[in-house]
Homo-oligomer: A and B are copies of this chain.
Amino acid sequence: MYDASSTSLITDPRHPLIQRLRSLQTPKGRAESGCYLIEGIRHVARAIEADAPIEHLFVAPSTLASPLGQKLARRLRQSGTPCAKLAPDIYRRLSLAATPQGIGAVIRQDWLPLGAARPSRGDCWLAAEDVQSPGNLGTMIRTSEAAGAAGIILIGRTADPYDPTALRATMGALFTQKLVRTTAREFAAWSTSCRLTLIGSSPSAARDYREVRYRRPVVVLVGGERHGLSSELKSACSSLVRIPIARSGLDSLNVAVAAGILVYEAFYQHRQPSDDRAPLTSPAGRSLTGPNPRNQASPGGV
């Protein structure tokens, strides 16, 4: 068992730390404190690896059976991170995990101001307008990290990436992805001033998502579950693309799936760049990028 003998066990659910941890499970508590809560060995390990600003560790010593978990807790305490010990029932009532692992942390939120986000030449970013499901958003953050994108730009009423459901879906990718929150108007102005390629996803777009060039720096932009992209952001795009739907009964894909398909197209075009001036062609000479990809994927937006 994890040895935390030097601090006393919290057994009172009304203890101020427990109140604080509970409040971080609510949007209000996170907004007021600028912090968030993570749980589980994997997330704590990734937070340490990524040098995330951990304010507080908390463990339930009698629940934390994993040697790795115990080692992480020791390491954090030795480096001076405050560590609280919780009685198992207090921890269990607090935990949102199906199988509580007995370890969690309070971490400071880390937002990048839009003005400080200066996409460099080889960058890909993912942007989401009004994506309301925290699970979808968390999955998108995981995909963005996996595809080597630099970060995620949350536009409008997009969910809170520090929501527990979103966090769980990120699988720890949040600690290394840059996070920006902004409005549609600011985002449109920023994308113009940065002269980047802005590829927006829309079921009604004329062009197939594989027909355009994701010339870097590129931002892949998806709209919310209900209404897709706003017309304001549609008109800010360098290209609007659609993921073809083979059957008429459906009009769209799940937004996290759509984002995954698009950022992997961006990834793949970057990994195997072909001549920027010529469209990709198949052996039979069919154009895979349409008649004039340069017009569609030119940098600059608007």
- A residues with CB within 8 A of B: 46, 49-50, 135, 139, 142-143, 145-148, 169, 171-173, 176, 210, 243-247, 249-250, 252-254, 256-258, 260-261, 264, 267-268, 271-272, 274-275, 278, 280-284, 286, 288
Contact = CB atoms under 8 A, between A and B. Distances in A.
Given A139-B254, A247-B148, A274 B268 contact: no
A169 B255 CA distance: 11
B260 A147 contact: no
A142 B284 CA distance: 33
A113 B224 CA distance: 38
Given A135-B135, A261-B264, A272-B282, A143 B173 contact: no
A253 B247 contact: no
Nearest to A278: B283
Contacts of A281: 282-283
Nearest to A282: B274
A218 B116 CA distance: 47
B172 A250 contact: yes
Contacts of A267: 244, 246
B169 A249 contact: no
Contacts of A148: 246-247
A246 B147 contact: yes
A207 B225 CA distance: 33
A268 B254 CA distance: 18
A283 B282 CA distance: 8
A245, A261, A278, most chain B CB atoms within 10 A: A261
A176 B143 CA distance: 29
A139, A253, A258, most chain B CB atoms within 10 A: A253
A257 B143 contact: yes
A37 B250 CA distance: 20
Contacts of A288: 272
Nearest to A279: B283
The 6 A-B pairs with the shortest beta carbon distances in the complex, nearest first, are: A148-B246, A257-B260, A274-B282, A139-B254, A146-B245, A146-B250
Contacts of A280: 282-283
Nearest to A287: B272
30 contacts: A49-B249, A50-B249, A135-B135, A139-B254, A139-B256, A142-B253, A143-B253, A143-B257, A145-B250, A146-B243, A146-B245, A146-B247, A146-B250, A146-B252, A148-B246, A148-B247, A173-B249, A173-B250, A246-B267, A256-B257, A257-B260, A261-B261, A272-B286, A272-B288, A274-B282, A274-B283, A274-B284, A278-B283, A281-B282, A281-B283
Contacts of A261: 260-261, 264
A278 B171 CA distance: 40
Contact of A169 (B145, B254, B272): B254
Contacts of A171: 250
B253 A260 contact: yes
